[in-house]
Amino acid sequence: MDERLTDLPQWSTDIVDALFRALFARDGEVACHMAAMLVFVHGKADSTFDWELRPLFLRFNTEDSEERWSACEELCLLIDVDVAHVRALVSTPFT
């Protein structure tokens, strides 16, 4: 991950929202890394890819939307985010 991203003093809502949207808009390999970054920006990991959480991240590497939502629900519990907020983001077109 770009070191400049880890130096940001505070993560903007727009960046975090874009990461959540990418969980479903991007291919599985990219979605894995977006999930890892979400854990990092929410302060639940010391690095941009916490290897201990790799099994969770890999669950995003699928074309099955139900499996991604299941992984997203687990991710949201971990990072203390309401999954309803994520569902609303994903269903709203980019502006």
Task: Quick: pLDDT tens for 23-82.
Answer: 999 999 999 999 999 999 999 999 999 999 999 999 999 999 999 999 999 999 999 999
Look up the pTM and report it: 0.85
Task: Quick: pLDDT tens for 8-26.
Answer: 456 688 889 999 999 999 9
Any idea of the CA torsion for 38, 78, 57, 26, to the nearest 10 degrees? Answer: -50
CA 94 to each of CA 2, 7, 30: distance values in angstroms, whole numbers, following the listed order: 24, 26, 18
Residue-level pLDDT at 12: 81
